[in-house]
Amino acid sequence: MLLALVAFTACSTDRDENPVLSVPADGSFALYAPGMAANTVDLDNSKSLTFKVDQPNYGPKNVYPYTTADFAAHVTYLMEFAASEDGETWSAWQTTDTSSENPLDITIPTSEIAGAVTTALVELGRSEDEFPLKAQVKARVRAFLTSQPEMTSVYSKEVLFLATTSYVLPPAPSLKFYVVGAQPGWSGAAAQTALMYPQGSDVYTYTTKFTGAWDLKIWAEEDMLIENWNAAYGCETDGDNSPTGAIINENAQAISAPTAEFYTFTFDKHHMSYSWTLLENQAPTEYTSISLIGNFNDWADDVDLTQVAPHNWYVEYTFTIDDVEFKFRADHDWGTNWGADWTVSSEAFSAIGVGGGSNIKCAKGTYRFYINDITSEMSVVPVE
């Protein structure tokens, strides 16, 4: 009997003191719109909106108070938006990128909201030339325990407001595209040395002195690695030297520069188009060498890059110390050097160099380094 009583007490204690996870129902907690949402929100001329939300109840059933603190768990909040013009036909929900762990301060850049509303209105049949547009916008929060997003997701009540926006695409991640062609060469290994520089909005550029004849095609990284020519981007007519044109990636042909001069070649992946911009300065400064220097080599022994196309430099190098700081410099001299307030990562792999700028930072590991000494564009790509 004594043993049974001990067992009963232990079980009762477990039930009373150990919380049981309970995922609340959708719409069981409130979302509060910012004060400015009482009027029509001009997404083009405001910086951000701050929403507040009641904390969802993940506590044990039939016990008060219900707090996530019972679980020592963090809740993540993500905003979602849908749009309608007539208040009857609504788009699908569009998720924004910014998240928060503070239910009293979910601040979303209006650029993200504008991207979500634009995507929603395009889904409903609107075209780019019809913007700016006014729409009814619904907002809701998706909440979930950070460690268990799939099992614990729940949606708040919805709030409604009016907004106007220009045509704004959601921020697109910078992908990796490479030039293959007369420079640096017609192979995957050669293309790997000629990374295009991301400009935002799914636009990429490469600046050099082109040959003016069958200059290039473009490879996405995954196709470059296996030399998949069928997926290369180019033009419809082989050797087309038009100043602008359409991009295709099925049986694509080589694009030629209008003349054998210095150009910036621009690839707009979103609109599947290309253009050539002739440089005003056709005699840029020539350097004998571009190199890496930093704390990894005691700021002394330069690591030289190779010039793979005029004024475009490349090297692969491994840092063996932690907390690396480095810069690029020309001709092994501090008279011309490039730095940036930049910490390299797999997402942040490109920056614009600043003459005499800050030391660039990165972690130990192997990287591919790219720099254009005309535009000061730099990329440092971690090798997986």
Which token pair is 305? Answer: 């890059």
CB-based contacts of 325, cutoff 8 Å, min separation 6: 294, 295, 359, 360, 361
Q: Indicate whether 27 and 149 sit together in one domain.
A: yes
Which amino acid makes up residue 72? A
Look at residue 319 and tell me whether its pLDDT is greater than 70.
yes
Q: Indicate whether 267 and 205 sit together in one domain.
A: yes
Position 144 scores a pLDDT of 87
Q: Indicate whether 46 and 161 sit together in one domain.
A: yes
Which token pair is 309? Answer: 């196309």
Q: Indicate whether 131 and 229 sit together in one domain.
A: no
Q: Is residue 1 within 8 Å of residue 7, measured between CB atoms?
A: no
Q: Which residues span the domain enclosing 359?
A: 290-382
Q: pLDDT per residue over 177-235, tens digit each?
A: 999 999 999 999 999 999 999 987 789 999 999 999 999 999 999 999 999 999 999 99
The residue among 278, 308, 339 that closes a domain is 278
Residue 55 lies in a domain: yes
Residue 346 lies in a domain: yes
pLDDT-derived band at 20 (thresholds 50, 70, 90) equals low
Q: pLDDT per residue over 107-131, tens digit each?
A: 999 999 999 999 999 999 999 999 9
Q: Indicate whether 238 and 298 sit together in one domain.
A: no
Q: pLDDT per residue over 52-91, tens digit each?
A: 999 888 865 434 343 444 444 578 899 999 999 999 999 9
Q: Indicate whether 212 and 133 sit together in one domain.
A: no
Residue at token pair 């762990």: 101
Q: What is the DSSP letter of 3?
A: H
Residue 76 lies in a domain: yes
Q: Indicate whether 80 and 29 sit together in one domain.
A: yes
Q: Indicate whether 160 and 182 sit together in one domain.
A: no
What CATH number has the domain bearing residue 55?
2.60.40.10
Number of domain units in the chain? 3
Residue 210 lies in a domain: yes
CB-based contacts of 363, cutoff 8 Å, min separation 6: 319, 322, 323, 324, 344
The residue among 132, 165, 198 that closes a domain is 165
Residue 15 lies in a domain: no
Written as one string, the DSSP assignment of 253-274 is: B-B--SSSSEEEEEEETTTTEE
Q: Indicate whether 27 and 157 sit together in one domain.
A: yes
Residue at token pair 């719409």: 27
